[in-house]
Chain A
Amino acid sequence: MTNPVQTLTQSVTVDDNPFMKPVEWLSLAVLAGVILVVLPLTLDGFRLNLVGKYLTYAFVALGLVICWGYAGILSLGQGVFFGLGGYCMAMYLKLEASSIENTKIQSTPGIPDFMDWNQITALPWFWQPFKSLPLTLILAVAVPVLFAMLISFAMFKRRVGGTYFAIITQAIAAILTILIVGQQGYTGGINGITDLRTLHGWDIRTDHAKVILYFVNGGLLLACILAAQYVKRSKLGRILVAMRDKEDRVRFSGYSVAGFKVFAFCLAAGFAAIGGAMFTLQVGFMSPSFVGIVPSIEMVIYAAVGGRLSLFGAVWGTLLVNWAKTTFSESFPDLWLFGLGALFIAVVLAFPNGLAGIWREHIEPRLTRRVKGLRAPSPAIVPPHGAPAE
């Protein structure tokens, strides 16, 4: 918690613009253009579906920008919320795929196949709500958010610090993984919930459906970016930043610090849940390997690579890391972990503000200079950027 001045200058520039700076509108337009126009036109179905999958992680990274970058709460358990959202969606799809007709070879038709293998003869109570689509859509976000509230409220009330919170969330991810794997009769165990087919009668496995889901996903992501931008630019966002940098001062000024932190954490959980649900729809299954520690940390890294203070950076970072991961692992299956590990270290050491930092420090100034050279001079809008405050 060192650098209040820098971040202060940053939030001060906010005041003269109500929502977004022109540059940010431009960034949004570029991002929307790439996601909704360029990629669908240039990629084949398989690659587009892959990008769709990566973009579901971008929801998590987006949440982390708010919760970690702005509010200073690092969670190593975002996979929990991604997973819970995904599982809620998967439960609905699985029930639809387990119609009496499809499962007539089972000893109890009409329940998911893995329940039948585990001698469960009736649908457990917590599966019941997932028979209804509207209820599922609500629960897919509500369950993770409530869970996040439960965790964070207890901890922030007692002023658990940053690193402690990170480690406790990590432990929660570990617990939930063991629990899901262990209760395989109710959850599908380590295999996860697989073989999902239709959403309300609509076959999600066809190439056509995948393209539609891709656009739905892209649209939702852009909506989430706008929502996050709204939070960031509101008074709330400034309180979050102030809290991250000098928590005690905010507390002494009469704000309920815990409340704001809980809000930021729940918002991040909500975004992650949407990502998880979209993941299930696009990939066609959900597995406990998303709930664990490894994916949770990887998602933090997406946000770090993109730049923890930049909403757009989070999306670009997610795309970049996953693209690198896929390309490395396709070309050098034996060695790709070296590249990935080196990337993380490089980002932390050399580019602490990630892609967004590179953009802001090196490219944007040049662009503005160019623009200035062409038009009448205007006041600089780019504050210098140092190491992020911690």
Chain B
Amino acid sequence: MADDTDTGADRGLRSPLRRRLLMGLAGAPALALMPRTAWAAPETAAVNTTGLAVTDSEVTVGILHSITGTMAISETGAQQAEKLAIQQINEAGGVLGRKIKIIQEDGASDWPTFAEKAKKLLVNDHCAAVMGCWTSASRKAVLPVFEQYNGLLYYPTFYEGLEQSKNVFYTGQEATQQILAGLDWVHKEKGGDSFYFIGSDYIWPRTSNKIARKHVENVLKGKVVGEEYFPLGHTQFNSVINKIKLTKPKVIFADVVGGSNVAFYKQLKAAGIDLSKQVLMTISVTEDEIDGIGGENIAGAYACMKYFQSIESENNKAFVAAFKKMWGEKTVIGDVTQAAYLGPFLWKMACEKAGSFDVDKVVAASPGIEFKGAPEGYVKIDENHHLWSKTRVGKAKPDGQFEIVYTSPELIKPDPFPKGYQ
């Protein structure tokens, strides 16, 4: 990652000076002290009235993901996609004529660190936007920071909903968007009427399962025969697998995350549960996770996402090729990686529509923005800062890719506060 060290060294030299200039002397007086930029300065003054880190040639954007700690496993892809998007934007001329400069910070899989680094990116570095966070906990930790300092966060993960902030754009799906279409499909196509829920013990699986339970019980008129949660990082699933065998559900509905995932699918396979006969639907396994699980251990399972690497479209082929060129032939692209890729583009379009980097103007310009070049296909930003998107069901293949068996016909409206599901 040569560019990391670049930005690091660069920042080390420049930031104190820049900070002082920006802090003390916002606006016109600063221009007199910066002869180099004073020439074309009117433009900068026009697009940046709130003291963001924007010069005549550059605009600074933060990337805030875990590079170390347990979450680094998941967040690597997102962070790579954001860098790719920014590189592509820069090659195409940047945003409002300015190249994007990246400042990357490590959240270290630790929520308070995320808050600290978010604050640094906003207060110290004056980032015009931040791409980042993965877990709900990290987002909850940085949210007050972004609201207080009026920052702009593009959050890539599918998540539990129940949140909407002026300062955040959610480029992943919220829970109802992701789950309901998948449940309908499994009910209709696989005759799923009894479900066994198994998840990691934290807010996203619990909320997702709550929504799924309401849908199963009230809409599909099926029943939930079991609901189990295990601590994050749990690696022994033999007992629950026995319980699954005892209750014989039509569908296992899994939202286990992280390292537990690997253990769960390996043990499921070892216990003789054949996923070509037993229907298993997961909302937490993307191509990224399969890398660790091993394709042969999960082949036959269904995943419900908005994006799979195997989507057949020009947009996606170009994206996959560019991603592999930048990060290596072996890397795979999951749902969150793709959603992270959208962030910089959506921000760029909003800036250009607003004709400004000012957060308030960018936020005001965002609703209604359409991105036709998204790898997943056409997406649109809703009034509620989430994206309209399609939901797909993929069947895992032994080579680690998904075969797409269902795509929702229409874009699904995001609904972070679903009525009847709370």
Contact = CB atoms under 8 A, between A and B. Distances in A.
Contacts of B150: none
Contacts, number: 106
Q: Is the interface of B mostly helix, strand, loop or mixed?
A: helix
B4 interface: yes
Contacts of A114: 203
Interface in A256-301: 283-285, 287, 289-290
A191 B140 contact: yes
A195 interface: yes
A191 B422 CA distance: 19
B316 interface: no
A117 B112 contact: no
B217 to A, nearest CB: 14
Nearest to A295: B110
A194 B141 contact: yes
Contacts of A192: 111, 137, 140-141
Contacts of A50: 116
Contact of B67 (A107, A195, A289, A333): A333
Given A191-B140, A195-B143, A285 B201 contact: no
Interface string B83-126: 00000000000000000000011101011100110011001100
B231 interface: yes
A117 B136 CA distance: 14
Interface stretch (A176-184, A229-237, A381-389): A176-184
Contact of A182 (B106, B119, B229): B229
Interface in A288-338: 289-290, 326, 329-334, 336-337
Interface string B46-82: 0000000000000000000001100000000000000
Nearest to B161: A117
B203 A189 contact: yes
Interface string A177-212: 010011010000111101110000000010000000
Interface in A325-354: 326, 329-334, 336-337
A289 B206 contact: no
Interface string B160-195: 001000000000000000000000000000000000
Contacts of B33: none
Nearest to A190: B202
A contact patch SS: helix
Q: How large is the interface on B (under 10, 10 to 19, 20 to 34, 35 or more residues)?
A: 35 or more
B110 A53 contact: no
Interface in B199-248: 201-203, 206-207, 210, 229, 231-232
Contact of A181 (B108, B135, B210, B231): B231
Interface in B9-28: 11-12, 19, 23
B115 A285 contact: yes
Contacts of B8: 330-333
A287 B137 contact: yes
B140 A283 contact: no
A355 to B, nearest CB: 24
A331 B12 contact: yes
Contact of B144 (A194, A326, A329, A332): A194
A44 interface: yes
A289 B116 CA distance: 14
Contacts of A334: 1, 4, 67
A45 interface: yes
B416 to A, nearest CB: 12
Given A46-B123, A53-B116, A190-B202, A333 B141 contact: no
A166 B106 CA distance: 30
B110 A194 contact: no
A38 B417 CA distance: 49
Nearest to B109: A289
B115 A283 contact: yes
A285 B141 contact: yes
Contact of A205 (B143, B144, B231): B144
A194 B106 contact: no
A190 B203 contact: yes
Contact of A287 (B106, B111, B203): B111
A284 B144 CA distance: 8
A213 to B, nearest CB: 15
Among A49, A117, A191, A283: residue with most chain B CB under 10 A: A191
A192 B229 CA distance: 18
A117 B202 CA distance: 13
A300 to B, nearest CB: 17
17 contacts: A44-B23, A46-B123, A114-B203, A117-B207, A118-B206, A178-B231, A190-B136, A190-B137, A191-B203, A194-B140, A284-B115, A285-B115, A287-B112, A289-B111, A329-B106, A330-B11, A332-B8
Closest 5 CB pairs of A and B: A333-B106, A190-B202, A46-B123, A191-B140, A191-B137
Given A181-B231, A205-B148, 9 more contacts: A44-B23, A46-B119, A184-B203, A190-B137, A190-B202, A192-B140, A195-B144, A285-B112, A334-B4
Interface of A: 44-46, 49-50, 53, 105, 107, 114, 117-119, 178, 181-182, 184, 189-192, 194-196, 205, 283-285, 287, 289-290, 326, 329-334, 336-337
Interface of B: 1, 4-5, 8, 11-12, 19, 23, 67-68, 104-106, 108, 110-112, 115-116, 119-120, 123-124, 135-137, 140-141, 143-144, 148, 162, 201-203, 206-207, 210, 229, 231-232, 417, 422
